[in-house]
Structure 1
Amino acid sequence: MSHKIRTRVTAVAALAALTLAGCSSDPEPTGDAGTSATSAATASTAASGDATDTDRTKIPRLRAYLHSTMAFGAPMINFDKDGELEEYADEVDVDYWDSVDQLRAAMMQGDAQVAATPAYTAANLYNKGVDVRLIGQVVWGMLYVLGPDTAEEGDWDGLKGQKVAVVMPGEMVDLVFSYLLAENGLDKETDITYVPVNDPRQAVGMLAKGEVDWAVLPEHLATVALKKTAESGKNLKRVFNLQEEYGRATGGPARFPMAGLIMPGELVDAHPELPAAVLEEVADTTAKVNDGDDATIRAIAEQYDMPEPLVRDIIPRLNLEVVPASESRKQYEEFLEVLATVNPDVYGGTLPDDSFYAE
């Protein structure tokens, strides 16, 4: 069993990936969306004759295709490192996607057997004919509004007239922030000076230079920004925890299913036991992450070239919990409908049907 993790971005730059993948960047699918890893797996398995003692048919490779961000790097840091999935696949590896084009192509061409996606991207792909199944949620919100340390926490009126940098305009961070602004009686176009910022690193620089006093950021970038601005003599804090604000606005839990895992539908049909096995593997590592297991924290720190104490500080704010799709469907659909109040087309216009959710 091989385990390959390739890091292609720095710790700060990596955070941009999680906020990608809105419907604006989703391409129209071409070709047969049913293409997946299963046909190749079947042929290879027939040739190799690999099987477990229970005659389970193994697939040649199980590739996890992730965002290059700590929110998904952390729960997948030990993906099958202990060989827990070796009865399902001959080889396990991890790679990273940078755009929805890459993600869609990987899912359609069988290059990825499990992939991490923002919530609405999974539904958008499905609604555009890509044969994917949602197997579970992992990230439950990690968005914060940084502002002056003198600001009153939770006071939305305090944003009036302020210049606010919002990373990845039109995507997850922007959608959640825009919804909460409106729910708290503010108009993004008239009540604040909205500063769209495509590169999260630029937002950190703008805060440090005093070009803006406020910014809407995901973790772990929010922690990095606080550290950088403090070094430049500017004292900021988390004025808004958007998970808590979401709970107040909706009357529900102070969290939302921000990102989850999908698999090719044909693969799920051919290997119905595989989604549960993958979720169990991710859940085991997530528990170690949340419990602060020394070896796991050390691995994350090495992966993202960050000090271990800083990683430990960030972990609780990543809000990691593995919840199967069948159990999280209600919250997932409610979240999609909330996002649709900002952009009606964000998930493709129709809630996915039953077949989208893996059992």
Structure 2
Amino acid sequence: MKKRIWFQGLCATMIAVLCFLTVGCQPSKVEDTAMENVGKAKVSMAVIKGPTGMGAAYLMEQNAQGLSKNDYTVTVAASPDEVAAKVINKEVDIAMLPTNLAAVLYQKTQGSIEVAAVNTLGVLYLLEKGDSIHSLADLSGKTVSMAGQGAVPQYVFQYLLDKNQVTDVTIQYMTEHAEVATALATGQADIVVLPEPNMSGVLMSDTSARVALDFNQLWAETVGEESSLPMGCVVVQKDFLENNKEAFELFLEEYENSVLFAKEEPEQTAQLIQKHEILPKAEIALKAFPNCNIVYMDGILMKETLEPFYELLWNANPKAVGETMPDESFYYEK
């Protein structure tokens, strides 16, 4: 009897030891990711909530799973100003920014950054309650509410009005896009200019609102069919680039693939956009995605897209591009 008890105790002890060893040999998910990131270049990156950051969602997920070619530390910022401060202070290697802000930062940092890709085209739309606006000419004598005074929305809208000889539009400026959306919803405004994803948020909650004009289409009709309206871009610190050219080239490859994935798999991308807090809800991301015009343009096409846009902004207000037009050193070449 004693032998039997002793044997049972020995078996229990052995089982416990084996279980301990088995569990001890199971690496955690964090350890798995750490092991997978051994030997990878460490890259810090900042994206902004909204369209400018949406194309990076798949790359962020790959990074979180330890499947990316670089080891990225990603900051998802609430505003362009937050990312701008990180660029100025060299707290990030790569950043995704509004195109005019990239030009401003190039001047502010004495040329210490380069623009490597355009990642977002026009995201501005004119909405109304009713069915009276079908062209810019239909805005004659009307009041339009919008945010973005002293920034790209104002300059682009005013340029389109001037070029189409619509001179009697009253523009009521508000502080935030959310304020404009609320004004339309509450009847304080009948015609507004909104970017995505604010536009989709309005359309999902108010069936009486409609998209009257697409600024991308207006831009092509006014400037030329081959012209694009570049709103977002990717910049890189020159110091980082000089010492990590291979890592940056890998980033561009991974980011381009991320943009392609977003276009091919919008539903999965919408879920990732919510997961990584680029937008609060996947439903809004999915609704907004077709109108966010997420792209990947680099090289000569990027430069040919940005230069005329910067010239337009400079003519409207030199401060919009940092007082001086960006020179050749601003544009990254592989």
Contact kept? 1:63, 1:92, Cα under 8 Å: yes
- Write the mapping of 1:282-297 to structure 2, written as runs, cut at 5 A: 282-297=255-270
Contact kept? 1:326, 1:357, Cα under 8 Å: no
Measure the CA separation in 2 of the matches of 1:254 and 1:210: 35
Name the residue aligned to 1:131: 112
Q: Which amino acid aligns with 2:239?
A: E
Contact kept? 2:58, 2:262, Cα under 8 Å: no
Task: Provide closer, same or farther for how the CA distance between residues 298 and 95 of structure 1 changes in structure 2, counting only shifts above 3 A.
Answer: closer
Name the residue aligned to 1:216: 193
Q: Aligned-residue CA RMSD in angstroms?
A: 2.4
Name the residue aligned to 1:174: 154
Measure the CA separation in 2 of the matches of 1:226 and 1:297: 18
Percent sequence identity is: 21
Unmatched 5+ stretches in structure 1: 3-49, 53-57
Aligned residue-pair number? 294
Contact kept? 2:116, 2:234, Cα under 8 Å: yes
Measure the CA separation in 1 of the matches of 2:57 and 2:178: 24
Aligned residue among 296, 301, 304 for 1:327: 301
Aligned residue among 206, 210, 218 for 2:183: 206
Name the residue aligned to 1:32: none
Name the residue aligned to 1:349: 323
Name the residue aligned to 2:131: 150
Contact kept? 2:48, 2:83, Cα under 8 Å: no
Unmatched 5+ stretches in structure 2: 1-28, 31-36
Measure the CA separation in 1 of the matches of 2:75 and 2:87: 14
Instruction: State the Cα distance separating 1:80 from its structure 2 match.
Output: 4.5
The TM-score, its normalising length taken from structure 2, stands at 0.80
Q: Which one is further off, 193-202 or 325-334?
A: 325-334
Instruction: State the Cα distance separating 1:87 from its structure 2 match.
Output: 4.8
Measure the CA separation in 2 of the matches of 1:194 and 1:152: 16
Runs (4 or more) in structure 1 with deviation over 3 Å come to 83-89, 102-105
Contact kept? 1:145, 1:239, Cα under 8 Å: yes
Q: Does 1:93 align with 2:68?
A: no
Measure the CA separation in 2 of the matches of 1:334 and 1:267: 28
Name the residue aligned to 1:193: 170
Aligned residue among 87, 91, 99 for 1:119: 99
Name the residue aligned to 1:305: 280
Instruction: Give the SS at the match of 2:62.
Output: coil
Instruction: State the Cα distance separating 1:162 from its structure 2 match.
Output: 1.4
Instruction: State the Cα distance separating 1:350 from its structure 2 match.
Output: 2.9
Q: Which amino acid aligns with 2:91?
A: D
Contact kept? 1:275, 1:358, Cα under 8 Å: no
Task: Provide closer, same or farther for how the CA distance between residues 340 and 110 of structure 1 changes in structure 2, counting only shifts above 3 A.
Answer: closer
Q: 1:76-111 deviations in whole A, cap 9, x for unaligned?
A: 11335334885544x5323315253x4343224331
The TM-score, its normalising length taken from structure 1, stands at 0.75
The structure with the greater share of residues assigned to helix is 2
Instruction: Give the SS at the match of 1:253.
Output: coil
Measure the CA separation in 1 of the matches of 2:304 and 2:100: 14
Measure the CA separation in 2 of the matches of 1:160 and 1:294: 40
Contact kept? 1:279, 1:322, Cα under 8 Å: no
Measure the CA separation in 2 of the matches of 1:152 and 1:288: 35
Q: Which one is further off, 240-249 or 75-84?
A: 75-84
Measure the CA separation in 1 of the matches of 2:262 and 2:280: 17
Measure the CA separation in 2 of the matches of 1:307 and 1:275: 30
Larger radius of gyration: 2
Instruction: State the Cα distance separating 1:343 from its structure 2 match.
Output: 1.6
